[in-house]
Amino acid sequence: MSPSIHRFREALELDGGQVLPSFDLAYETYGNLSPSRDNVIVACHALSGDAHAGGATTGGAASAVDGLGAGQRGLAGVGWWDGMIGPGKAFDTDRYQVICINVLGSCRGSTGPRSIDPRTGRRYDTDFPIVTVGDMVRAQKRLIDALGIRGIAATSGGSLGGMQALEWAVRYPDFVRSCIPIASTARLSPMGLAWSSIGRNAIMADPRWRGGRYPDDDPPDAGLAVARMVGHVTYLSSISIAEKFGRRLQNRSDYSYSFDADFEVESYLRYQGDKFVKRFDANSYLYLSRALSYFDLAAQWGKGSLSAAMARAPASFLVLSFSSDWLYPPADSLALAEAIREAGGSVESRVIDSNYGHDAFLVEEGRQTALIRDFLERQDA
């Protein structure tokens, strides 16, 4: 399967006050619509993800996946959440139609900074407007409407995907029946803001960034690779890094007494950075990283109160987090669940014990499946 592209020729007003005169969205669907056209699950991807969430691509092209999930899956072309989407899986395509939509600002088929500005005939680059999670979801809603979908059984995703899932539930309360945010948060913590800022500054400090106006054949690969290395560490946990690498040397019996990659963990991070720059765009990383940092449900919808924001959403919630995730810690998910309870909403919250850190939402598919399947069955009862 390969993504479809839906082209919108009407303008989209953005939260920052600017306007996209037109835009494209890449998407894939799995399973069939019910006669009532309301059995849809929206699977939302993380920062460097794409619309290819399940199955295999027709061209064998590798899917965009964050962290350990990519390395452990090891199958080119397999969707980033393939273990969760399909017949009998957590998101059972015998019962639901699953749709995954590539976000605005990305470089994986939807309109972003590498797209052509129809007003100038030139690439947007950093003239592309800042987009928010709210903008992404409003664009997705236009696609959902264009496809004739009349209701959403559930929204779900991890990390940035969980933020989109929550935005869906709060922004369109009469349209979304349930929401399953995983390893996510109602707003990025100050520590998360700091790591995000380091990644952006690594890109912008690369001389080849050129203010965002770099040619295709000379992008700021060094800065983007460092940003990916920093980001990748935040997806792991100290336990998983220690278990996977320890202090083992990389093909050496002693130190090189140089600045080469002596340790396995150093070599691994360089490999992750080098691999990432072959499939992702530096400007898109900047834009999506900024969207992460701006997301704040309480400020956007509750005048500073998260419970007031969640009172807008009548959906039932299953909030999942992982014990070793220090980027989106369980405390954030528990605070979200408590805000839903304070608002009188229906919520179940589970902290899954895992050593995989933030990447557990891609790795611990089996342990999530039973929880999600049981939750969705209760919603359909």
Catalytic residue of the set 45, 52, 232, 358: 358
Can you read off the two tokens belonging to residue 67?
Answer: 């962290």
Among 25, 44, 234, 199, smallest CA distance to 115 is for 25
Q: Is 325 a catalytic residue?
A: yes
Q: How many Cβ atoms from other residues are within 10 Å of residue 373's Cβ?
A: 17
Instruction: Write phi, then psi, for 148 (nearest 5 degrees).
Output: 75, 20
- Beta strands in the chain, from DSSP E residues, in sequence order: 4-8, 12-13, 19-20, 23-30, 40-44, 85-86, 91-92, 97-101, 152-158, 178-182, 316-322, 346-352
Q: Which of 63, 159, 184, 333 is catalytic?
A: 159
Query: What sign does the dihedral 201-205-209-211 (CA atoms) show?
Result: positive
Q: Could you give the angle at which helices 282-294 and 221-235 cross, rounded to 10 degrees?
A: 40
* Structure tokens belonging to residue 57: 């691509």
Distance CA(187)–CA(184), nearest Å, equals: 8
Q: Is 321 a catalytic residue?
A: no
Q: Can you read off the two tokens belonging to residue 236?
A: 């792991």
Q: How many Å apart are CA 85 and CA 362, to the nearest integer? A: 12
Helices (runs of H) and strands (runs of E) counted in the chain: 13, 12
Sequence letter at residue 329: P
Q: Residue 185 corresponds to which tokens in the numbers above?
A: 């948060």
Residue 331 CB contacts under 8 Å (≥ 6 apart), including other chains: none
Cα separation, 137 vs 163, in Å, equals 10
Q: Which two tokens stand for residue 265?
A: 């963990």
- 159 belongs to the catalytic site: yes
What tokens appear for 325 in the block?
């995730």
The active-site residue, picked from 325, 332, 333, 354, is: 325
Q: Phi and psi at residue 142, in whole multiples of 5°?
A: -60, -40
Distance of CA 297 to the CA centre of its chain: 17
137: nearest Cα among 109, 114, 162: 162
Residue numbers annotated as active site: 159, 325, 358
